[in-house]
Structure 1
């Protein structure tokens, strides 16, 4: 899972958190979760239409475990989905969460990125 965690942390202003104890690892942007990582699975926010398509295409993609099943997928990381495709799913989740942040928070993060 290290490459997945590293990719999540490479996204602008992404932070890791453990709000539920030592497991699971929660990745956040602007205080909002975009990934939940536990054992050999990662749960990611997803556009509902894309979420359904991914579930149809991949046995390893299921409705979000203990999450809103319309907007979240849980992906079992078992090698059946290439890492690049999982990274695309992570980027999509991050983008959805970032877009949903209040404008002031988005502006604050964007300003931080412009600092030298």
Structure 2
């Protein structure tokens, strides 16, 4: 995947995603509900993504894929860095982006449950 592919995929997750550059023009930041779910930076060699992850899955992914390392400049327990060097499948990258989005995105409030039974009439 290339930068444009990842950008397009991230923006497709929700029409209200905010793309911004608070850390300078070389770092793309994607937010949902005001919180970061993806940081994307192009260094001298490879594109790198920082993505939020459950702690258990973060460790499992790092053990399984050499191109997934603890989150650079992030909480290592909850963030992974994916090095886009051609070794990770598009499906895996998109799944990780989606999961990061889902972990951060605020779900709409559930509608309150209706009281059981019929309302009593006033006499």
TM bracket, shorter-chain basis: 0.7 to 0.9
Matches within 5 A, 1:101-116: 101=106, 106-107=107-108
TM-score by length of 1: 0.84
Task: Give the gaps of 5 or more residues in structure 2.
Answer: 110-123
Name the counterpart of 1:37.
Answer: 40
Please give the alpha-carbon distance, in whole angstroms, between the structure 2 residues aligned to 1:107 and 1:55. 32
List 4+ stretches of structure 1 deviating above 6 A.
none
Residue 107 of structure 1 and its aligned partner are, at CA, apart by 3.1
Please give the alpha-carbon distance, in whole angstroms, between the structure 1 residues aligned to 2:12 and 2:32. 11
Task: Give the gaps of 5 or more residues in structure 1.
Answer: 109-116
Q: Which has the larger radius of gyration?
A: 2
Q: For 1:17-62, what per-residue CA distance to the aligned partner results, in whole angstroms no more than 9, with x for missing partners? A: 1111212100110111000000110000000000000001100000
TM-score by length of 2: 0.79
Name the counterpart of 1:3.
Answer: 5
Whether 1:69 and 2:70 are equivalent positions in the alignment is: no
